[in-house]
Amino acid sequence: MKDFNLDSTRIPKHVAIIMDGNGRWAKKKGEMRIYGHTNGVGSVREALTAAVEIGVEYLTLYAFSSENWNRPKEEISALMDLLVQSIYNEVDELNNKGVKLATIGDVHFLPASCQKALDEAKERTKKNSKITLILALSYSSRREISLAVQKMTNEVINGELDSKAINEDLISSYLSTSDYPDPELLIRTSGENRVSNFLMWQLAYTELYFTKILWPDFKKKNFYKEIFDYQKRERRFGKTSEQLIESNV
């Protein structure tokens, strides 16, 4: 942090991360893919610690996409075991740091052991308010939007919702992220320059940051560097630079 001289008045409230490259990291070392995922847990700890240190309020991590169910059964099962184990190992530390755990996605599709660990950890951390750690699990942005459209349509049919009331804010309120502000910064590791069905509605104005680092190599200093780069970029929301200068005076 000292190395980066961050502006404490311009820390993003919400950072989202696509943690990618665990498999390639393991392959480079001649190890099984799960070795990469296991080492990826250390990077989750690094990112979370850095986020807490600088005052980020929401950190969303893409831990398992809906598409990830297509991976080999053994990898899925090892990932689920790792998730359960990590939650049990880390819950005391989450409490020490003031972390409230939350999830988005079809968590009810996860094995019962995972759901139990997540429910217990959410219950044990629910009073914490320093940062909310949102794990996206069995998450798909298109599915999330489809479910919101289904719900709104049913409410219109039942006379509970006026179709004229459907606007951007209302749609946001039907998404699983309704309690959180949109991310100001998205980080994706491993050199892939895609959004991969992650928070597509919520990322409309988000600064995208792609780094070549593979997720298990991601450290606190990488997180700070990305915040530093974010602070160097100007966010205009479709306005001109002149309009922004005027609205800041």
The residue (of 172 and 197) whose beta carbon lies closer to ligand FPP is: 197
- State how far the Cα of 40 lies from the Cα of 46, in Å rounded to an integer: 10
Q: Tell me how many degrees the CA angle 210-173-158 measures, rounded to the nearest 5.
A: 140
Q: Which is nearer to ligand FPP, 11 or 34 (CB)?
A: 34
Q: State yes or no: is 20 an active-site residue.
A: yes
- 135 is a site residue for ligand FPP (CB under 6 A): yes
- Measured from the Cβ of residue 44, the count of other Cβ atoms closer than 10 Å reads 20
Which one of the listed residues 68, 95, 128, 197 is annotated catalytic?
Answer: 68
Contact 177, 151 (CB under 8 A): no
Is 106 among the catalytic positions?
Answer: no
Kindly report the backbone phi and psi dihedral angles of residue 46, in degrees, each rounded to the nearest multiple of 5, phi listed first.
Answer: -60, -50
Q: Which long-range contacts (CB under 8 A, 24 or more apart) does 119-128 make?
A: 120/87, 120/91, 121/87, 121/91, 121/94, 124/91, 124/95, 125/91, 125/94, 125/95, 125/99, 125/100, 125/101, 126/100, 127/100, 128/94, 128/95, 128/98, 128/99, 128/100
Min separation Cβ 122 and ligand FPP, Å: 14
121: exposed, middle or buried (Cβ count in 10 Å: 0-12, 13-18, 19+): buried
User: Rounded to whole angstroms, how far apart are CA atoms 96 and 49?
Assistant: 11
Please classify residue 68 by burial: count the beta carbons closer than 10 Å to its beta carbon, then call 0-12 exposed, 13-18 middle and 19+ buried.
middle
Residues 217-246 that bind ligand FPP (CB under 6 A): none
Find the binding residues for ligand FPP in span 148-187 (CB under 6 A): none
Binding mask 181-220 for ligand FPP (x = CB under 6 A): ---------x------------------------x-----
At closest approach, how far in Å is the CB of 20 from ligand FPP? 5
Q: Return the number of the residue (132 or 152) whose C-beta is nearest ligand FPP.
A: 132
Nearest residue to the partner ligand FPP, using Cβ: 23
Binding part of the chain for ligand FPP, among 13-21, 120-128, 199-207, 236-244 by CB under 6 A, reads 13-21
**Footprint on residues 17-46 left by ligand FPP (CB under 6 A):** 19-24, 33, 37, 40-41, 44
Q: Which is nearer to ligand FPP, 45 or 235 (CB)?
A: 45
φ, ψ dihedrals at 113, nearest 5°: -65, -35
- Sketch the per residue contact string, 67 through 106, with ligand FPP: x for CB under 6 A, - otherwise: -x-------------xx--x--------------------
Size of the site for ligand FPP (CB under 6 A): 20
Find the catalytic residue in 20, 106, 217, 222.
20
Which residues are catalytically annotated? 20, 68
Binding site for ligand FPP (CB under 6 A): 19-24, 33, 37, 40-41, 44, 61, 63, 68, 82-83, 86, 135, 190, 215
